[in-house]
Every structure is written in structure tokens, then in C-alpha cells.
Amino acid sequence: MITACYLPYTLNFIDAAGTSRGTMHTRQVWFLILQDSNTQKVGIGEVAPLPGLSIDNIPHIEAATEMKICSTHWPRYGLQTQWAIFFNQFPSIKFALETAWPDLKNGGNRQIFNVSSYRPIPINGLIWMGSFEEMKAQVDKRLKQASAALK
């Protein structure tokens, strides 16, 4: 059987993170941990909605996680179907499950995809809101990093 638990964690930002919805100094996330009772291996996923930007009902995330995930012993098969039904209104929980499960299946080595070589995935360069000077410095840094797009 697969058992699950979660650990709340507060990220304390070194610099304020400005978004279109305001400035964040901290961010609440949860680490979802799946454990296989046969092997004792664990898979970890991150539940990390952004207040004001994510569609998740953030005040109810802990209750949904506790009630639907941690109180259930999951079979090894058919998990994705069950998750799709339970977590449509909580995409951040669904994402955590969808990353914790392959991590567990791949031996609990924090390797979601079992590939023979490691090659970074190109991502967009994120620009946090701030003063003109702060944002320009971030743009210059991201351009030097050859970001394909700036957001």
C-alpha cells in the first residue's frame, strides 16, 4: 500500500517578491510525501499555490490534503484516475501527486523522469515586480542567461 502525509513549510524570501497581486515576503507551501509500505521508499511532491494567482482554494488545502490523501491507504494501481476525480479543484495538490508518484516509482531519488542523461529544460526568465532599476537589472541578468522569453 501507499501511505501519504504532508509537511507545511514557510518559505522566507531573501528579497521581496513583487507580483501583479502584491508583494510577498513569505510563501506557504506543503511537501506531499508518498511512502510505499513494501520498500519504505518515498516520493516527494510540492503543493505550492500562489495566493491571488492560483485557482486553488488555498484556505482549504490542508483540510483537503488531510482528508483525501493522508487518511487513505492508496493501492499501487489506478492512482491517477482517483486523483483526477478528487483534485480537480486543487490543481496544486494534483501536481504534487503527479510529481511524487513518479519520484516514488523511480526509487525515491527525486528523479521524476528516468532518463539516461541530464539536460536542463529551457524555461522563461521570471522578472519580479519592483522599482524600474530592480526590474531592469533582472532583465539584464535574464538576457545574459539566454532566457528564451521574459515574463
Domains in the chain: ranges and CATH: 2-105 (3.30.390.10), 122-151 (no CATH)
Q: Are 113 and 102 in contact (CB under 8 A)?
A: yes
Q: What are phi and psi of 126, to 5 degrees?
A: -85, 130
Q: Each residue of 122-146: pLDDT tens digit?
A: 778 889 888 899 999 999 999 998 8
User: What is the spatial distance between Cα 138 and Cα 15, in angstroms, rounded to a whole number?
Assistant: 13
Confidence of residue 79 (pLDDT cuts 50, 70, 90): low
Q: How many helices (H) and strands (E) does the chain have?
A: 4, 3
Q: Each residue of 24-76: pLDDT tens digit?
A: 899 999 999 999 888 999 999 999 988 777 887 677 777 776 666 666 666 55
pLDDT at residue 99 is higher than 80: yes
> Cα dihedral sign for 121, 122, 123, 127?
positive
pLDDT at residue 81 is higher than 70: no
